[in-house]
Chain A
Amino acid sequence: MRIRGPAALVIALVAAVVCGAAGLDWTNEGVTAAGSAVSAAARANGTIRGRVDLRQPPADTLPRTSVTDLGMSAPHAPIDRRSVVYLDPAPRAAFDTREEPRPRMDQRNETFVPHVLAVVAGTTVDFPNSDQTYHNVFSLSKTRSFDLGRYAVGRSKAVRFDRPGIVRVFCDIHSHMSAFILVFSHRYFSVVDDEGRYRLENVPPGTYTVVAWNESAPLESRRVVIAEAGGDVEINFALGRR
């Protein structure tokens, strides 16, 4: 069979997408690391803190223009694209299990709230619908693919995330809705606050790599040493192209 114009374009299109997907479905090998050899017992633990700034603020996602729309689209609130900081590798104590409240990723005003959620592997996340319209939360990520189907306001569905990695979450009905769930195999991670500050507490003495992640910038990492006596270490990041 001759490959004509449409087929050739199809091939090129798929090729480009797959190349892109290779970078998209990032699974953080470091997150699954077996842990540090440092013994946490009988030594003072330290704190790693600092700020993550973005050199260029990420552009807001625009709703896809549909020429069939009959009316003006409603303005959407800007998305809070927060960064996440985590240790790689993590100390052994990080794998201890703890009971924590069940996190939720809400759907409000056609936006996932929060836009970035970080959880420990094995966590179940609730996805309530607080809008007046249907939503259809789904993910095609290798880390965890799921499709919750369409459900109305007031209802909630849940998904358990067992494997570490990044899960991109979308709504099948509203193309401008997206979110990230970062699943870690340990507890040494922190989503930055409104000021971009983070804090990783109770880190045992040892040498680690602190990694800063933001969806709009390449990963950045720094080596950090927590002394035997513990103490605070400040590490600041500026993500994005200079």
Chain B
Amino acid sequence: MLIGVHARRLLLALSCVAKATCVVAATCVATAARAGAQPLPEGPVRLLDGRVALSGEVVATIGSRDEVAWFNYTDYEHNALRMMRLGLTAAWRPAERVAFVGEIRSEDLEHPSAYAAYVRVRPWRRYNFDIQAGRIPPTFGAFSRHAYGTDNPVIGYPLAYQYLTSLRTDAVPATADDLLEMRARGWRSSFPIGSQTPGPGVPMITAFRWDTGVQVRWKQGPIEVTSALTNGTLSNPRVRDDNGGKQIAGRVVLTPGVGWIIGASAARGAWLSRDIPSQTTLPPQRALGADLEYSRDHWIVRGEVVWTRWSFPVPLWPANVDQVGALAAWGEGRYRITPRLYLAGRADRMTFTRLRGSVPKSRAQPWDAPVTRIEGGVGVYLQRNLVLRTTVQGNWRTAGRVHDRAFLSAQLAYWF
């Protein structure tokens, strides 16, 4: 029965994606004859005698709706599998060792916001040492290092970077029961202490906003070291500090041979808003990560493990725990079959630490519902900088109104 329902949903989604693809293909054929038209830019647009480079990215994703399970929501409004993303990046290099970099981004055609805005300075010509200040690139993790449109082999995001846990930065549970009741409700959770308005929870690391602060990076041979001091945390990057505590993050990358990238990251920062009462200290979010990439011939294989703990201002009754944790691991691969066609897949798992509620003789259970995600698909390069992807994503979790759900989606990504 369950399989039948899923099969019907999948067929419906397949039908929608097929129709959209047909429309796109028909338009291609119809317009192919118009030889006089100008091509879209292939590379950055130069302005002011080459001192300013303007590049951009358009990513349109069409997929089946998900207003019950919320597996791919990045907050209460946006679904990563049904999203139109426009990004415009400008880099101005007024001097050899100074650059201003900014990116304006709009999701689902909403008003654009500054995703990145920072100044980069290289103080010494001889050393590969850079300082960046402003709304800076993430220090922690490997996925953050990749540009979504060009480097993401599938359409979805790794769970660690997108899936919303039930934790919120402006409200905290008073008891273990408060937390356990919110299992699998990260899209709209509520807790008794702090804000009383239901709202989306936070992911382990968000891939959709960048933090503000100062970052230093040094590279020598096969070693690269990066460290940053920022206003927010991995779960809640911020422009303005809302708790008076800073996050410190570090990352070391080793490239022992061509094709290999090995990375380790760590971060610690105050994650709860000052608006939450009864905070005598600044409870931290702590995280550790390790990642590996290997590529050769037509293969790229990547994997990452992220572990994080969020601390609370007061221990949760009756479990008497003052912190909860989550562990996420994912692996992905891409194989290019022909110059235009590739196959890709990602397997992803996210688990949570256990705690016991107030029900007598109850077993300890994960404070949020563990999730498994598998996604696979194909990508076709229509042009060097234009790729059409289609993937099927399956999600399974152990709690919530919907325990499992499959999504079929298609995406067109263009960049210059």
Contacts and interface: CB of A to CB of B under 8 A. Distances in A.
A63 interface: yes
Contact of A14 (B28, B90, B217): B28
B120 A72 contact: yes
Interface string A1-26: 10101110111011111111111100
B37 to A, nearest CB: 3
Nearest to A65: B91
Contacts of B83: 6
Nearest to B44: A62
A150 interface: yes
Interface residues of A, number: 53
Interface in A172-186: 175-176
Given A18-B28, A20-B37, A150 B23 contact: no
A14 B128 CA distance: 40
A15 B31 contact: yes
A7 to B, nearest CB: 5
B11 interface: no
A134 B295 contact: yes
A84 B96 CA distance: 34
Contacts, number: 182
A151 B298 CA distance: 9
Contact of A65 (B101, B340, B382): B101
Interface in B14-40: 16, 19-20, 23-24, 27-28, 30-40
Given A3-B23, A6-B83, A20-B40, 13 more contacts: A1-B20, A15-B30, A16-B40, A21-B383, A59-B50, A63-B44, A65-B90, A66-B147, A71-B219, A133-B258, A145-B339, A150-B295, A150-B297
Interface of B: 16, 19-20, 23-24, 27-28, 30-40, 43-44, 46, 50, 53, 55, 58, 60-62, 82-84, 89-91, 96-97, 99, 101-103, 109, 115-116, 120, 122, 128, 130, 132, 137-138, 144-147, 150, 215, 217, 219, 224, 226, 258-259, 295-298, 336, 338-340, 381-386, 412, 414-416
9 contacts: A13-B40, A15-B27, A17-B383, A19-B39, A67-B115, A68-B145, A75-B96, A134-B295, A146-B339
